[in-house]
Structure 1
Amino acid sequence: MCTMTKRQISQERQADAERLKKVWMEFKDKEKANNRKVSQEDVADGCGWSTQGAFSAYLNGRTPLNLDALIKLSSYFNVSPSEISPDLAEELQSVVDRAGRVHHIERTNTERSGRLVSVKAFEKMDENGYYRKLESEEANHENHGYVPSLDASKDAYAIQGTGNSMYPVIRNGWFFVCDPQATPHVTEFVEVALKNGDRVIKEYIGVIGSVLHLLSINSSERSTFDMDEVESVVPVIEIIPPSRHTKNK
């Protein structure tokens, strides 16, 4: 007679389940305080899982947490991945660090010091935050001014956010300082340039396999791009108010 034994998960993954329960309870309490009710089915649907049982299995330690699930859950609950699984978050950061080679960005130990960063010409951001570099000869030769930065390298550039696609986190008219020499970090902002010419600024979650995971700045909406579609991922190192913008260098 064959006896089935329950598979035991590691202590690390059991601890992940306990931290996930804590995040889940705090999330439910916050939603309840705002007169919103959320269920395990809602979480599963938000993470792209077909049944509530997938979330329940992670929550109760029946299924060990993995990187893909960690990205989806931390994005849904809008928490740092390390709040759910510190050791998997370190592994995720390792993936992020290696992703720079995939992005085809050569990073050097460029000296950083206070400097004025030139503002580049881009089309106005649409309601989803997308914009496109202006290629006209007039735009390329026009002086769009400068913003000060304490940490930018000589390769940094600035983008002015236009419209309300990132409100209330970022207001209309503020500037993003983007630095190709910096390293993207989980939950920080990045500028993603796609090979079709579109660009967007979102929160960086990571690269799993060949898929780039992003989170909208002003909501919990997630975006994914196959890395074959991506030209570059450049960290946003500072956000500068319009009062600091100048036309003179």
Structure 2
Amino acid sequence: MLISSYKDTTFLGRFPYSEGLDEFGMAGKGIIANHDPESWKFNRKFFNQAILSSNFNDEAIKWVNKLFKELEGYWKLLSNSTSHNNLQDNENDWSLEIDLSTWAHGFMCDMIIVLTTGNRFYSMASYYNKISPVNVTHSDALIEDSEKFIEGINTHVLGVTYFMFLSPFLRHHMPFIKDRVKSIAKNRDYLFERIDTIIKKRRKEIEETPVGTELRHHMLTSLIIANTERDVNNVKTFGDDLLRPMTDAEI
């Protein structure tokens, strides 16, 4: 049913209404799990506007290069600390056995967070500190306990299946399952609270920035300033609902 609803369109498919997703707080929000056509159209407009801009693409290219250099730096430090290689004497001659999947996961987390919020997350640094005898510190991290936040995101994504495929009776009364569902719901509340704090913090920063000052080109800023006097997008869509700014909940 889901596939047949969008097989003849280039738009991203949407899940149909689900009582479980409604209970989980996802129904009617965002894009993928949004069964409300008007809300979906509104959110999709600003999402596309944010990620398809040339400034956003330039920012993505810049951060890919910057984060890869940071990743390579961690690998070199690990190679130097686990062997007798002197990287200062032979900078290009070093080797290291790594868990590529874990590093790739950290790279993607750092990339996604910096492009969506404009702030650093340091997921790779967190993993480096786990396996290195010498730790690195970063005072400008978006979230202090980044490991907990990353684990919370993973739990949230996997937890969606409990609300999509299990009946209300199983979710609320089946032993073991009901405890897991409560844990997933508690994790959801933690994530939403942290994300709401990030949005409000960035909105306040923008409000305190003089109008006309160039803002950083990342998704959160684009969504906050959309349809405001700071909006750098010159293409406007007619329709009263599509011309209003986004609320924190919609973001």
The alignment's TM-score, normalised by the length of structure 2, stands at: 0.23
User: Which one has a larger percent helix, Structure 1 or Structure 2?
Assistant: 2
The alignment's TM-score, normalised by the length of structure 1, stands at: 0.23
